[in-house]
Amino acid sequence: MRLFIAVQVPAQIREKGAEIAREMVASGLPIRMVAAQNMHLTLKFLGEADETKAAAVKKALETVAFDKFGVSICGFGAFPSITRPNAIWLGCKSAELGALAAKIDAALAQLGFPHEKFSGHLTIGRAKARCDLQEFAKKYADFDFGAFEAASFALIASQLASGGPVYSVIGEFFAGE
């Protein structure tokens, strides 16, 4: 199974992301939308793991202590760039989210997972072919998609299916009081 660690995002924010993706598709851009129910803030992608490795990851994540924190979803961008996009995303503002990602990175280093640079974002689509998103970047550069309080993060398994990935939470970890 493929594993990743993420903060779940409220439905109203995910739906706003889906609206932008639908707008891009309707404009003729070659975009594959991420299903709204699958949108999340990835803290760390772990890749393929068996049941034993998943159990070890879950145990390591139980040691990560954090407090509830605010997250603001605003702005628009793409990796590697707006003019040559692969992943299309909404921006994320939260110093605490980055701090949580660093704690998770440190907890999983003992299991052999490499350190990764964290860049908080909410992926809403993927480019199927070369395209230019400058018009959308200008339109949504300063757009506020909403804010929420993050009180947990999850270890999620991804199973690839014909209709897209199917996610299942295999562990959820909550903020201290």
pLDDT at 88: 97
163-177: per-residue pLDDT in tens? 788 999 999 999 986
Binning pLDDT at 50, 70 and 90, where does residue 162 land? confident
Six token digits for residue 136: 């959308």
Q: For this structure, is 121 an active site residue?
A: yes
Q: Which domain holds residue 117?
A: 2-174
Question: Domains in the chain: how many in total?
Answer: 1
* Percent of the chain topping pLDDT 70: 99
| Catalytic entry in 7, 8, 14, 40 | 40
Looking at residue 43, which CATH number applies to its domain? 3.90.1140.10
Mapping DSSP onto H, E and C, the string for 21-71 reads HHHHHHCCCCEEECCHHHCEEEEEEEEECCHHHHHHHHHHHCCCCCECEEE
115 is known as an active-site residue: no
The predicted structure's pLDDT at residue 161: 85
pTM of the model: 0.94
Helix axis angle, 95-109 to 51-61, nearest 10°: 130
pLDDT tens per residue, range 123-137? 999 999 999 999 999
- Residue 163's pLDDT is what? 79
Q: Exactly one of 14, 16, 44, 121 is catalytic; name it.
A: 121
